[in-house]
A and B are shown apart, each in its own frame.
Chain A
């Protein structure tokens, strides 16, 4: 306990904001707890991630608890910038991090497809479902549904929409949701784009959905937290396609918001991690991944952060889901995700989005 407290203090002290224009790179260092003891591994595990540090902190603490000799450097950035940095390092065959974890799994698949990763070679791969791993190089660590969050006060009488059909009907019928819907800016957010793209392939509701968004002047944001903030303070009544981990952990604390797992289908994203080809300490990275999928890691991920794991996520979510059984659609880690990143495809998709969502209606 004492050790963790010290680590946190140190982490706070060594918080570096890089000065590059347009980047929000945050580097946090967790020094090794026991420098005097020669036992065990020593070194520095560099993790590059888009996940908010608060979500990763318990896992890092657990890692340093089992590997007291290890220090951890945590690099955090938005998905697109992180992807660009990692791609550049891969192309230059330069070290960037020992472990790259991102919720922007299409970009992760593309990096692995480009040969940037190395094989993880861990028995933990055996236990993972097929959709949560690819080539033994990329593995899914979490089980995060794309949910709708709603302001409880706004839906006190009628009750919130339970599915996309309900949402579409609501958007068509009344003007009550006008300028009261928030979702990702899919041009800016990797996760938002991924969810949108998957929506478009999953069902025909997508066309009607974005038409409704356009009619109701949807507000778009870069990050889940912003959407949830808006819904919580009532500026928005409903947030669409929010990452379930953020939504649920907030809802646990904030009684103003509720979380809906859409009953028509619920997309599920597994935050994916891989060990780069140029990793300096691949063993430590592997140990970190194994820890995340171990019983202890599962307890941490299932706990406060609500990140869940591919091993147990479906059951954990089903318990939250209430009466109606949600239809979970995990997004498989396969090269099919590359299609969403194709320049031409992306350009077409975004132009379609812009036309529907941002054109002012007469």
Chain B
């Protein structure tokens, strides 16, 4: 049974778990990259802002201590201003204070002024280079309004960027560590969650793999909704398989029994014949032996035919067939095997196309003929037609009384033979029924309006179910 091996063939590399892992990792990587980019820019901004405040604070303190004494601008730089700037402990500090006339009152005379010489009173922060290092500077104006001194004093305070870069780096480093740890933990948790979520699937997988190939009972494992349909399909399939295997076993048992009985009878009759001296009785016995032999022969034929049809129902591919052609071939074959004299064919002028297996349909038609010859009264007519319902029909007509309702009820059962007729194997209509089922058709019987009886197979016309695919039937 190919059941066990046909499931894991999809391979681990394309498993859902693998895909989920890949997607989650990708997603987390993108998220982490985004966070890091944000952290980088935030780190710079935060560091700049923090130290700009120090710079502003120091400039404010210095500006506040600029006073006018006896008509002179007096600058008394407070220690606290430099203490404040020294919080950026590794940075160099520069300052310059410019008086009303543009002269440098104290500090570094060469310290550059901002490019945009906006004359607003608002403090202006700017970047420049001094003494060989990039620096951040603030320019602050102080308006002196005294009797003797009236105008603007400009305070410039600057510091190098070492502490800023260090802070920015620290922020970014921490963010990186945080993101990496958070990402790792998230990934681990996601993988754990995935593992837990997919565990029912693994349970199903394990149940399938652990199963005895001969065990065809349905799965009772609890399954998540996502794979319920899959497991249900497997269960349906197994049920069908189980039924079919069962049927096969029944058939073999039945066939053995059916073969054994007539052969035993045949042997008994030949032994009787050997001991019979009376030529007239001997003749009768010989006739009986012949009848038995024909019966056994037909039984064998039908058993094989039945086995073939059953097999083809599982394996054959369906093709477009003209039912008229099936009828012609069946009649020719019936004639060849003998005892089929007086068969007529009644075919329509137009093709009657069905989708089916030519061999099975031919066997069905042949059995219809044989059945009519065996149980009906000649003449037998094999008729192909299209019914008013729009289905194809192939039927064998005869002039006999037909079946009684009990017999009609048992159509399709194997070995439902007429006990009075030793030549009947009781398999003919069973074969027909099986072929009909396999072609999604049905067995039909009717008594003609002017007497007579017919048994036939009704099939859907080819156009009616174009989507029927043989693959739907094969595992």
Contacts and interface: CB of A to CB of B under 8 A. Distances in A.
Given A115-B131, A115-B133, A135 B82 contact: no
B92 A115 contact: yes
A348 B76 contact: yes
B89 interface: yes
Nearest to B107: A342
Interface in A302-339: 334-336, 338-339
Contact of A344 (B75, B79, B81): B75
Nearest to A130: B89
Interface string A330-362: 000011101100111100100000000000000
Interface residues of A, number: 19
Contacts of A134: 89-90
The secondary structure that dominates the A interface is helix
Nearest to B88: A335
A96 B92 CA distance: 22
B51 to A, nearest CB: 14
B93 A344 contact: no
Given A135-B92, A342-B107, A334 B86 contact: yes
Given A115-B92, A336-B86, A201 B79 contact: yes
Contacts of B132: 115
Given A115-B131, A115-B132, A336-B83, A345 B76 contact: yes
Max count, chain A CB within 10 A of own CB: residue among B77, B107, B162: B77
Contacts of B79: 201, 336, 339
A306 B463 CA distance: 117
B74 A348 contact: yes
Contacts of B75: 342, 344-345
A199 to B, nearest CB: 13
The secondary structure that dominates the B interface is mixed
B440 interface: no
Nearest to B78: A339
Given A113-B92, A115-B92, A135-B92, A339 B74 contact: no
A114 interface: yes
A335 B93 contact: yes
B105 interface: yes
B256 to A, nearest CB: 99
Interface in A132-163: 134-136
Given A115-B92, A344-B77, A345-B77, A338 B105 contact: no
B435 interface: no
Contact of B89 (A334, A343, A344): A334
Contacts of A136: 90
A350 to B, nearest CB: 13
B144 to A, nearest CB: 15
A343 B82 CA distance: 15
A112 B78 CA distance: 21
A113 B93 CA distance: 7
A14 B175 CA distance: 62
Interface in A65-115: 112-115
Contacts of A115: 92, 131-133
Given A115-B132, A115-B133, A344-B106, A339 B90 contact: no
B343 interface: no
Interface string B60-81: 0000000000000011111101
A136 B91 CA distance: 11
Given A114-B131, A342-B77, A344-B77, A335 B85 contact: yes
Interface of A: 112-115, 130, 134-136, 201, 334-336, 338-339, 342-345, 348
Q: What 5 A-B pairs have minimum CB-CB distances, sorted nearest first?
A: A336-B82, A344-B75, A335-B93, A334-B86, A344-B106
Interface of B: 74-79, 81-83, 85-86, 89-94, 97, 105-107, 131-133, 162
